[in-house]
Amino acid sequence: MRVFAALVAVVLVSVALLVASPVSQEQRPDATSSLGPLPNPDEVYNPVVAGERLPVGFRQLLPRDAILPVYEPQFVPAAESGWTDDSLVIGLDLDGQSRAYPVGFLNRREMVIDSVAGIPVLVTW
């Protein structure tokens, strides 16, 4: 339980730091190096423009891609995070390296692009 609390705290503090300093377009990693060229947003399939009917009651509050992901999360020890032991997190352990991504933060940012043990990961909620 202590390790879990430590992971939660590390993630929560890192999230707070990221919220305080949003990532600019210039700071984003170059996705073309490993994924190839990114599609032009004007050429991506849009169901509304294509004439598809939306579900009854559907209401879009934010435009597409309005919430930026966290690109370079920072982590701190759990004791320094200020989060409670019962905070919900999404935990990840790869090759002995552990991360905890707080659900409370993911409710606002939705995605974290990270690298754990040299493996690129996308954490989403």
Q: For the segment 61-108, what is each residue's pLDDT rounded down to a tens digit?
A: 877 778 888 988 988 887 888 888 888 989 999 999 989 998 888 888
pLDDT of residue 104: 85
Which amino acid, residue 34? S
Q: What is the DSSP letter of 17?
A: H
CA distance 52 to 103: 33
Contact 5, 85 (CB under 8 A): yes
CA distance 50 to 42: 13
The pTM of the full predicted model, rounded to 2 decimals, is 0.53
The pLDDT mean for the chain works out to: 74
Buried b (16+ CB within 10 A) or exposed e, 66-95: eeebbebbebbebeebebeeebebeebeee
